[in-house]
Each structure stands twice: as C-alpha cells, then as structure tokens.
Amino acid sequence: MRYIMSAGYAGKGIQDIQSTVDEIVVKWIQCLRERWSSTPKQARDFDVGKRIQFLTVDITTKLCLGESFRCVEEDRDQHAFLDTVKTATPVSLQLSLFPELTRTLYHLTKLAPIRRLLVPSAENKSGIGTVMSVVKKVISKWEPSGMTPRDMLGSFLSRGLSRDQAETELVVSLVAGSDTTSTAVQATLLTIITNPRVYHKLQKEIDCAVNHRTVSVPIQEAEARQLPYLQACIQEGLRIHPPLAQLRDRVAPPEGDYIHGYRVPGGTSVGFNSWGTQRDPIYGDDAAIFRPERWVENEESKIKEMKQVCDLIFGHGPTKCLGSKIAWMILNKAIFE
C-alpha cells in the first residue's frame, strides 16, 4: 500500500505540486500584506502562527482533495479543522507510548457499542468526524462522473486503493501533514527572528538574491536550494525543534536483536526520541544551540553525516514520511517569502 501511495506524494498523475503550492503562497503573502501591514501611524499585532496554520491547511487540502479549505482567504479555521488537530494530537501521542493499550482498544472496537463510542464517524459534528465528512463529500462528488481527479485522492484511487482506504489515508494526511509542516515553519521562523545575528545574515542573502534577480516570485524550489544560508537555517530549525515528538516505534524480530550491545527480546516495541537524536555529538559540543553555520562551515563528509541524523526527523526506511519533500518545499517558500 505504501508503494501505491508514494506515487501521489511524488506528484505522479496529479497537477504540478509546485504550481499549486505557489498559488496558495502568493495568496497568503497578499492577505498578510493587505490585512496586517503596519503603518507609521499604526502598529498592527496579529498571530502569525495561526496564519501559518491556515497556509499549510490550504496547501494540504488542495493537494489532497483538489480544493482548499480557503482558510487563508477567509482568515479563519474552516470546518473547525485546527480545533480537531489540537484535540486529536495529544490522544495519538499518548496512544503511541502504549502499544498494548492501542491493541486493546482495537479489539474492543469490534464490539458495536464501543465502536460507536470510540471510533470517529463522518456523521459526527466535531473532531475527526468532521474531516472524514469533508473527504467523503469530495469522493462522492467525483464518483458519478467516472472521472479521476488530478490530486492525491485521484492518484490513490487510480492505483488500486479502495474508497475506504483512500478516505483513511487522506484523513491522516490532512491532519498529520498540515500540523507537522505548520509546526516546522513556525519553529524555524521563531528561531530565526529571535536571533538577530542569524536574522540579518539571512536577510542579506535574501536581499542579494532578489536584487540580482536570481529568484522568481514566488521563489522556486530549485532556486531556494541554491541559497546556502537559507538551507542552513531551515535544517537547523528542524534539528532544534523537530515537528513531531511521537516515538514511531518499531518491533524487534521474533529472534530478538541487539542495539548498541543491549539485548532486545523479540516482539519488543522500540521507539526513538527525535529530540534526543538531534542533540547527538555529531553536531558538535554546541548541539543544544541554534547555529546554522554548522551546516556550511564543516567538511562535506561531516555535513553528510549530520544530514543523515537530521533526516531521522522524518523517520527512516519503509516508514519514512512520504510527504517530506513537500514539507521542504513549503518551508523553503514560506521562510523565504
């Protein structure tokens, strides 16, 4: 199933991902300037974190469903989506810490009365059910026409996922994808603007690129990759504040295994702490400090090793986040713009 879904996340069979992201980023910047720009006579305060959430929700829903929730234009939480994320995230994090509890709940939900109580439904008026309802309506809109939409939903269905499987995956993608990307953008932006030295150095690189007309409006992914300090700031922002604290456990094989000399019995769930891994000595004695220069001043071989550790933020192997490339694209565009 992961192989089937990977095509959609890679952009195969769907509208150009970058142009879709660009459309919403341009609209987002325009709305910020029109609604929240301060003047010499009036300073306007606003919650930039919430507006970053609006941005990532609209991009994610547009890519997944072919239409955005229009949070950016309406400047509000459509379908109570952000409230749903806020409610669901702590629950999913707690369940990830106790696999036994998760398995117990799974078996209990086979009983109809308990299933109605615990399992979300598209008929619910709040929580995950509201997101499920939106996804079901989008799928129902396309079914009578026999056409396949050019979005992730269409990609999933055309490659063999059932309607129920596609609905489940889209709900997960909408909730998890928009929230983690928003957290990454907010945390990276915060670390930059609270460090004057880094802020001015990055601003100088951006101004130079704009003045020499080496970047488009909005900036393209390939252009952003050519700005070394921008890349260093984003990489360091992700390292200092990983957007997901979930343990993402793996199960030891039946015969057991050894990790750094420690015997792990077969069937044991083993998770890793992304915040802990990002303080690894590979980053140097100042690993607890936000210092983007570490990504440009070290030798290429050392930077490669650092990136391998930093990439653990997105998981590894068969469970690595399929949306990591899209997240990087949004980070590049949002931070630069």
CA-CA-CA-CA dihedral for 245, 231, 279, 288, to nearest 10: -110
Burial grade of 259 (CB within 10 A; 0-12, 13-18, 19 or more): exposed
pTM for the whole thing? 0.91
C-alpha pair distances (Å), 169 with each of 57, 106, 114, 150, 204: 16, 18, 23, 17, 42
pLDDT digits (tens, 9 = 90+) for 288-335: 999 999 999 999 999 999 999 999 999 888 778 889 999 999 999 999
The pLDDT averaged over each successive group of 10 residues in the chain (337 residues) is 74 81 97 93 92 97 92 94 85 78 86 84 80 83 69 83 83 87 97 97 98 97 98 98 84 93 92 90 96 96 97 86 93 98
Burial grade of 96 (CB within 10 A; 0-12, 13-18, 19 or more): middle
User: What is residue 13's predicted lDDT score, i.e. its pLDDT?
Assistant: 65
User: What is residue 233's predicted lDDT score, i.e. its pLDDT?
Assistant: 98
User: What is residue 288's predicted lDDT score, i.e. its pLDDT?
Assistant: 95
